Structure formats: structure tokens, C-alpha cells
Amino acid sequence: MPIPRIKNTAILIGYGPDGKCVYSEILDIRNYYDDEHIWDNPARAKRLKLQRLKGYLFNPAGKIDQEFENAFDLLTGKYLSGRTRYADGTIRTDP
């Protein structure tokens, strides 16, 4: 029996300061790249008390293309830093 795969999909999970989920979304990968995100608007991120966001981007074959974690300032909702691991093992870290 074949193993089902998540294909062309972005899975996003946001956490507050207490470690509880404050945001989650599953999107078609095209919408992930084309649409505005909750963290694009600092006021919305602040209102949610979004402190940390984890994301998993799956390609058409169902393999992880990108895995990332971003941090946000609770007082302003602004992006602070992030770390992304790509399918080839490359890691990018933003200050």
C-alpha cells in the first residue's frame, strides 16, 4: 500500500509566548507564494501574540522543499529573525 504524501502544500504553525498554537494554516503552495501572510502585517501578528512561526513547504513529489522557523517581536509584531533549511541541506539564517 503506497504511503500518502502531502504535495504542493505549505503547512504553517504559529506559537505564542506560552508555546501554544495561535495560528495554523494549510495552503496550496501557489497561494503560499502569491498571497499575503499573517506575518506580513505586524499589527495582525501582534494581535495574535505570534512569537514563533514554523513552516513546511512540500514540492510536487511530496518531499520537503523548505523548512523554516521565524521569530517575531511580541511588542511590535515585527519579524526579528529566521532560519531556513532547504531540500539540498543548505541553511540560511537571518540575523
Q: What's the whole-model pTM score?
A: 0.90
| pLDDT tier at 3, thresholds 50, 70, 90 | confident
User: What does the alpha-carbon distance between residue 95 and residue 77 come to, in Å, rounded to a whole number?
Assistant: 16
- Amino acid at the residue 65: D
User: Which has more confidence, 2 or 88?
Assistant: 88
> 34: Cβ–Cβ under 8 A, 6 or more apart, which residues?
none
> 49: Cβ–Cβ under 8 A, 6 or more apart, which residues?
16, 17, 22, 74
The answer to whether residues 7 and 18 touch, using CB atoms and an 8 Å cutoff, is: no
pLDDT for 36-59, tens place per residue? Answer: 888 899 999 999 999 999 999 999
At residue 50, φ and ψ (nearest 5 deg) are -75, 115
